[in-house]
């Protein structure tokens, strides 16, 4: 179900807003989400953020692995370096 600002008729992408993001008009109270619904959305956001960060970390690890793989000529030093790095 789409929501449109009563003032400027712009379509609102989210019901989390208390005011229209385009014209700033106050939105009808019955559109607003309850605190429980907002909390559910916040938790969903946190989950997505966590997943996004995990993916980012994985990408960094992959890039790191590729860098090490590229050091083929100094493999002995690389292993020593990695062990040092891992503590
Ligand atoms: Zn508006």
The domain ranges of the chain are 1-32, 34-71
Q: What stretches of 1-87 adopt beta strand conformation (E)?
A: 3-4, 11-12
**pLDDT of the residue at 17:** 85
**CA 36 to centroid of ligand 1, rounded, Å:** 25
Per-residue pLDDT reduced to its tens digit, 1-36? 678 999 999 998 888 888 998 999 999 888 888 889
**pLDDT of the residue at 39:** 92
pLDDT for residue 77 is more than 70: no
**CA 7 to centroid of ligand 1, rounded, Å:** 5
**pLDDT of the residue at 33:** 83
**CA 31 to centroid of ligand 1, rounded, Å:** 14
**CA 52 to centroid of ligand 1, rounded, Å:** 32
Average pLDDT over the chain, rounded to an integer: 83
Please give the Cα distance from 16 to 13 (Å, whole number): 9
pLDDT for residue 54 is more than 80: yes
């Amino acid at each position: 179900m789409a929501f449109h600002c009563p003032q400027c008729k712009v379509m609102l992408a989210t019901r989390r807003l208390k005011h229209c993001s385009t014209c700033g008009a106050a939105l009808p109270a019955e559109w607003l989400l309850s605190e429980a619904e907002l909390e559910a959305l916040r938790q969903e956001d946190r989950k997505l953020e966590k997943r996004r960060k995990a993916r980012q970390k994985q990408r960094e690890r992959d890039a790191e692995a590729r860098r090490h793989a590229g050091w083929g000529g100094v493999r002995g030093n690389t292993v020593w370096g990695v062990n040092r790095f891992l503590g």
